Structure 1
Amino acid sequence: MAESIVGAISSHLDCAICYRRFENAKCLECLHTFCESCINSVIDTAVDSDSDDLYLTENCVRCPICREETNYDQGKAETLRPNLLANKLIEELKRHEDSESTKELCKEHGAEKKFFCEKCGVLICSECALCTHGKHTFLIKNVEDASKAKVDGMVKLMSKATMWMASHQEFFMDYTKKKVEGNKRLDDISEAIQTSSSTCLKLLIDMINRKKENLMTKVESNRSDLNEAVDNILGPVVEAISDVSDEIECAEELLDSSDPKEVVLQYRDWAKRLLRGIDQQIPSDMDATQ
């Protein structure tokens, strides 16, 4: 019974390309499973022959069973999703086959372990079933029945997991697409902001430069008016200072001459010129602002 179950499971773990048990099982998008090396062989053969049967375009291949298209990366089948459940079942089958080659005997009673205790999760012989595990009567099954139940459970879980993987893969692809589209929209918004900011900045700079030119023109105009006004005020002052300075130099020359006659003769005219010069008043602030 156990061997027929194992054979039934094993038949579902054969590759449809090489007709041997899967080696490093890989899934296509359609969830059909093949050996990694077999998928690579199909790809290489199709590329070399430029066949339209399996090979479509670069990095794209059709399933040998249903012809659904599957994309792959530069690493070929190595980048495809592994069929974890199939690989795990193959490991379990190999372990079962290895155990069958050497039957496990009970160390205590020397009999073959043909039963499985669900309570303890161990293989036991018939003597252990009656003695050590006597209280677990309703939880003890022969290995074949226990194996069939486990295999049925594994198949159901494998089917459930396969459906889970398909739905989650679709979810992943959907949100990956949304992510790309969202980033594209954000890129467009960013570009629009950059363009708008540059335009506004240019207009602002032009406005500031025009304002600057107007202000500088006013400053230079005020500077010219100020200099002209001050020069008009200082002109007579400079002339008066020069006249008074000349008269002082004239007086010093008279005093240095030690000629009393010359002093007496020139004093009157010199005094009039000096007094005329020093009679000029310093302009007031009002004069400076007019």
Structure 2
Amino acid sequence: MASSINSHIVDITTCAICLEKLITPKYLPCLHTFCESCLHTYISAGIEKGKKQSIECPVCRTSLSAPVDNCSSEEWVRGLPLNFLIVGLLEKEKVQNPQKQCMVCQRMEVHSDASFVCTDCSDLLCPSCVKHHTASKLLCDHEIRPVEEVVSDLKTLKTFKNKCTEHKSKELELFCNDHETSCCSMCVSIYHRKCEKVVAIEDAASKFLASNKVADLRSELKKVDCDVKAIISNLEMQAGKLQTQFKDQQKELDEGFNNLVTMICNLKEKRTSEMLKHYNEAKDEIDFLKLGFENIDKKIKNEKQILETCVAEASETQVMLEVQKVYRNMNGHKSFISNQSANIKEYNLSFMKTDISRHLEKAFEIVYEQSKSQTTVKSCCTSILAVNRFETISGLNSSWSSKGVYAICFWMSQDIKLHGLLSYGCVDGQSICKVSATLKHNMRNLVVTSKHLDSRESELGLLKINFPEPVKLSAHTKYHVVVDMEGPSYRYGMNGKSKMVQNGIVFNFQNSKYSTHSTDTNSGQIPGLLFSVS
């Protein structure tokens, strides 16, 4: 778990523009964070190109309007909020760094080892700077602690200072429940004097975390992310279908025009141009929609990283603040999905076959149709089940010939959706091997897919080979799963069963005519299937 958390921190503290550690991190309304200097350069470049009123987020392409008309890049960037979560993570990283340098001395371009930390300034200090720090009237009440003590204190490391964006020198110490916003003492005295429910921000954070809002947000993000990915997958399928139609129809079109030779060369060019135009229009529409949902996916990925990092690394206060930011973006995601899903269409690209001798001018006229897609956004609640036909698996010192084709035949007592199949990892537990899987019915390939299996990702020796999309299978109909395995030797299953009952569904297995190696009902490869109930 620690390595997973650290990988999140590496990603979230890296600027997507310069690909270096964030310096003065500032975030956009979409919650993507960049170095202040990188944003300044990026905005300046946009202004030079004439885009004075808005820019796009470099990651998700969300549009951001200038705060005021004729705003300079310096003013624009200066007005963006500082990401205190990232600031805190970077400060924590400095404290935990084995090479601890005094930050005050560094600013004066002097190198000295730090042995203390000011928890108020978040500065590493050498003994000399500690004396000056405690002697200052402005800083004498700051808490100074030994570095070793702070590094071992997880609570201190998770305490990030949050400054008021309006009153820069003030910390966010209070929370107004009437307006559901954090504020400093100055904000309370100016804007919240009549508010009745102003409490300490720590108390508000404790109450906030006692609720289910973090869990609810995590669940909502997961559902929305799943919806976006499903739509992207559907758009990719539409693009593939459109491309296949284009290729197939163009081939027939070429064959027809070749019979007419020079008489219809000009007409061929016209029709091909029409079809290509419609293809490009449809492809552009799909790509545009797909890009929009991919950008939402990037936002959600970033928000998920922010959420998980906060929960793991931040204080209760910071968790509350960051969750609120993400919540404010949720409606935008949902609205985008709702609005843009309505724009998804079904495309059909073909041409009208005509009697050339009678209707030469209308020969092979392009038929281009658009219709509303039947795709609907559904919550990601489908339970994917697994059936494993083997009782035991070979030991690490046993192997199975990796080169060859393995297959098994199966049928079920009721209709299912097949999502993929189970496979074994390599014997050495380290190798990455290529596997090609095919689902067959009556000599016809229903699905063909390839995957590189990483044995390090296996669970109890098993790995998943997911199909691009689930396939509906009919009850009492025989199907064959065929796997072509490459790479080092694989583990294999033993003590197989020819009949299994999973979730009330009876699965039958028998030897397949497509297998060229020793996979059968008793032992071998293809241990199981991944399915859901139709």
With the length of structure 1 as denominator, give the TM-score of the two structures. Answer: 0.35
In terms of fraction of residues, the more helix-rich structure is 1
Which has the greater radius of gyration? Answer: 1
Choose between structure 1 and 2 for higher RCO, CA contacts under 8 A separated by at least 6 residues: 2
In terms of fraction of residues, the more strand-rich structure is 2
With the length of structure 2 as denominator, give the TM-score of the two structures. Answer: 0.21
